[in-house]
Each structure stands twice: as structure tokens, then as C-alpha cells.
Amino acid sequence: MTADTPLTLHNLQPEQQLVSALPKKWQQRFMLALKAMDSLVYDGNNMTWEQIAQDSAISAHHFHRMFKLVFNETPGQYINRQRLQWAMTLLVSEPEFTITDIAQEAGFSSSQALAKALKRTLGLSAKAIKHKQNDLMFFEALMRKLGQPVQENQCLEELMAAKIEFKVLYFPSRPLITRALATTSMVEQDRVWRKMKPKDNSCSMVTLMKMSMQESQIDITEFEVGYFSHIAGLSTRLGMTSETTLIPDLESSTVLTQSLPAGNYLCGKVTVSNLTAYFAAWDALFIHLLNQDLTPDPDTKYIDIIESPDTFWAQTTDIIISIRLMD
């Protein structure tokens, strides 16, 4: 298949799948309630779930009972899990944030309240989690525990990701302009990308990650953010070759101009709203590699193409994940 073959978009938002099984009237009420619950986590809303139920035209008693039936957890447990998901994301991606900053961002009343929630749910302190910031296997295992519960030792995000339709697509060489980052901070990633992207052109955010495995843990060794360049003659004008070339940007730091090599890439397209679903998608890709006896290029980088960067992790995000295969 070639690069212009469309990819099927798979929605990995567990809430939407669970609510979609309800009658239309209840779908509308629950989606309204879930939107309000999200605002408790991300927007500093201080409503109680009982008030949210009332605003959604459901009595608190019936809302609690029906919520437990649909989501396999109480409204309070759901809100706490969402807060912990966001706190975990901030703990490992924002090294400059203090524990107090993270607690406040995730809607906890204090750093002590966050510490108790982490200890109770994950058995770890915030400091212990931050200490293993770049260990992806460790972090992924914790995020799996914070996924939508369906059965013991498994979350709904994993079950949904198992249905992703991956395709092998052939791409010609693709020129990229990226900047290397010293951190995987989402705040820094978003800031740098907005500063470097073309001012008069909307484009996707591309991230490249290089991994290494040491002592049974997978660490990120390189991380870049940028965009595909479609400017005619750019490769020639920038002196771009198959190897990475360095050119100065306006801030006198470095921008990397490079090309993703031509070849076959295993690709999948997903909608995610949290890192639990994101990791589940990558796990599904590697399971597909094994099942189809496909071999990734050992020198490849993990590629994310975020199609709507303006909503980067603030809402749902559409991402194409891909990895180059051996010729």
C-alpha cells in the first residue's frame, strides 16, 4: 500500500464506547456529566458529582447506581482516577513542576492529598515516580493500572487498542525540520513546536523518539519535535542529505533538518485523550509486529504525527503512530 492509502481512525476513548451502548436520552445525559467531571480535573471546577448529576437531570441516587453499572466504578472513583492519570502524566513529563504544582493542576486539595492517593492506588510516592521519569516500561505499567477498569489486570483501553487496524504503507523520503529536546515535557514540546512551525501554514506536529533498553528498562535517549516540510527544493537549499544536518535558528540554538528514509512503515491512526490509551496503541502495534512476523528497522525512531496540535492533550488528540520496517 502507498502513502495515500487512508488509515482507519480508531477511537480509544473508553467513555464514549461505554456510553454508546445506552439509549439516546441517557447518552446525552452521561456525556454532559462526563464533560463536567473532566472540568473538575482540568479546569479547576469545584462542583461535587452530586451537583453534576443534578445538572444532568439525574437524581444523585440514580446517577450513582447507573454510573457504577456503566463504568464499573463509582463517580467518586472515576474522578479520582482521572485526577491520578493527569497527575501521573505531569509527574513524568514536567520536571520543573513541584508536587504542589501537580496536585493543584490535577484538582487535588493539597500535595498531601495527592501523596495519599498515589500511595493508596499505586503503592508509590510522587518522588519515587519522578525518579524513574524516563523508564517507559515502569510508567506504562502504572498508567495501565489507571485505565478504565473492565476486569482484573486489564483495562478497556487495551481491549479497544487490540482492534486497531494497522497497515504497512510505503512512503518516499520525507523531509523534516525538527528540534532536539532535552526533556519529554509536553509543555516544552508544545512551546517549541509553536515557535518553530511556519507562521502562515497549518501543519501536523511530528515527534521522533529513540529508545534504548538497559537492565530490563526502556529509556528515551533522543526526543525531537517538528514538522514535515513540503517546500519545493528545501532539501537542496538546506544541503539536506540522508544524514542529519545542523542549521542555526533565530535563537542561535539548533534545528535539525533531516529526511525520514523511504520504505515501508507500519502505521495506525487513533484518537486518544490520555496516556493510558496512547501506550495501549503502541503496545498493540508491537503485538501486530510479532503476529505478522514483521521486523522493525533497528535504527528507526518511533514516530508520532499529531494531526491537531492546537488541541494537544487539552482535548482528544488524533495521532498516527508508525515505525519503519526492515527492507
pLDDT tens readout for residues 152-166: 778 999 999 999 999
Q: Would 124 be classed as within a structural domain?
A: yes
The full DSSP string for 7-40 is PPEEE--HHHHHHHTS-HHHHHHHHHHHHHHHHH
In three-state secondary structure terms, 169 is strand
Please report the pLDDT score of residue 191 as a whole number: 86
Q: Would 7 be classed as within a structural domain?
A: no
Q: Examine the domain organization and report whether 113 and 185 are in the same domain.
A: no
Q: Examine the domain organization and report whether 148 and 172 are in the same domain.
A: no
Q: Examine the domain organization and report whether 314 and 189 are in the same domain.
A: yes
- State yes or no: pLDDT of 46 exceeds 80: no
Q: Which residues contact 138 (CB under 8 A, 6 or more apart)?
A: 132, 217
Q: Would 306 be classed as within a structural domain?
A: yes
Q: Examine the domain organization and report whether 232 and 256 are in the same domain.
A: yes
User: Cell numbers 491512526 label which residue?
Assistant: 269
In the chain, how many domains are there? 2
Q: Examine the domain organization and report whether 133 and 176 are in the same domain.
A: no
Q: Would 67 be classed as within a structural domain?
A: yes
- Name the β-bridge partners of 322: 267, 303
Q: Examine the domain organization and report whether 174 and 112 are in the same domain.
A: no
Q: Would 201 be classed as within a structural domain?
A: yes
Residue 289 pLDDT grade (very low, low, confident, very high; cuts 50, 70, 90):
very high
Residue 278 pLDDT grade (very low, low, confident, very high; cuts 50, 70, 90):
very high
| 220 CB burial (10 A radius; 0-12, 13-18, 19+) | middle
Q: Would 196 be classed as within a structural domain?
A: yes
**243: domain range?**
167-324
Of the chain, the percentage scoring pLDDT greater than 70 comes to: 87
Q: Would 187 be classed as within a structural domain?
A: yes
For the domain that residue 283 is a member of, what is the CATH number? Answer: 3.20.80.10
- State yes or no: pLDDT of 240 exceeds 50: no
Q: What is the mean pLDDT of the chain?
A: 84
Q: Examine the domain organization and report whether 106 and 176 are in the same domain.
A: no
- State yes or no: pLDDT of 284 exceeds 80: yes
Q: Examine the domain organization and report whether 139 and 173 are in the same domain.
A: no
For the chain, first and last CA: distance in Å?
15
Q: pLDDT (tens digit, 9 = 90+) per residue, 190-229? A: 888 888 888 766 788 999 998 876 666 667 778 999 998 8
Please report the pLDDT score of residue 239 as a whole number: 37
Does this model's pTM top 0.85? My answer is yes
Q: Which helix (H) or strand (E) holds 248?
A: strand 245-248
Please report the pLDDT score of residue 307 as a whole number: 83
Of the chain, the percentage scoring pLDDT greater than 90 comes to: 47
Q: Examine the domain organization and report whether 187 and 275 are in the same domain.
A: yes
For the domain that residue 29 is a member of, what is the CATH number? Answer: 1.10.10.60
Dig out the grid coordinates for 280 from the structure. Answer: 495501549
Our CA angle for 216, 268, 275, nearest 5°, is: 55
Q: Examine the domain organization and report whether 185 and 137 are in the same domain.
A: no
Q: Would 43 be classed as within a structural domain?
A: yes
Q: Examine the domain organization and report whether 210 and 145 are in the same domain.
A: no
Whether the Cβ atoms of residue 50 and residue 62 lie closer than 8 Å to each other: no
More confident call, 303 vs 221: 303
